[in-house]
Amino acid sequence: MKKFVIFAFHGELMCFAHALLNAIDLKDKGFEVKLVIEGSATGLIGTLDAKDSPFHRQYRKVVDEGILAGVCKACAGKMDSLFEAEKQNLPLLSEMHGHPAFSTWIKDGYEIISM
């Protein structure tokens, strides 16, 4: 079975929602899938965890089912969401100068999808 990692960079909620939906769909269809929240998308962490957020249920599913691999530590710092990521106990990824590296996933046999 193929393995996919989705790197979600875009911080606009409607764009990010597609990363959530595709991650859930791939998992539901039997693929191994992980989601990495990167770039300006790290700024959505607090919004997505709010119960009145339109994509709260999908976000919680991704977190609770272990689909979320983690959040870019450097970008979360720049987007003032590092505290929120820590508050939610989200894994912080930083192996490439503070950012998650594609190479880590490629070495583990994942195909990268960047959104």
**pLDDT tens string 22-57:** 999 999 999 999 999 999 999 999 999 999 999 999
Q: Is the pTM of this model over 0.85?
A: yes
Ranges of each domain in the chain:
3-114
Contacts of 49 (CB under 8 A, 6+ apart): 56, 59, 60, 84, 88
pLDDT value at position 1?
Answer: 83
The alpha carbon dihedral of 16, 21, 24, 26 has a sign of negative
Q: What is the CA radius of gyration of the chain?
A: 13
Range 3-114 has CATH code 3.40.1260.10? yes
**pLDDT tens string 4-14:** 999 999 999 99
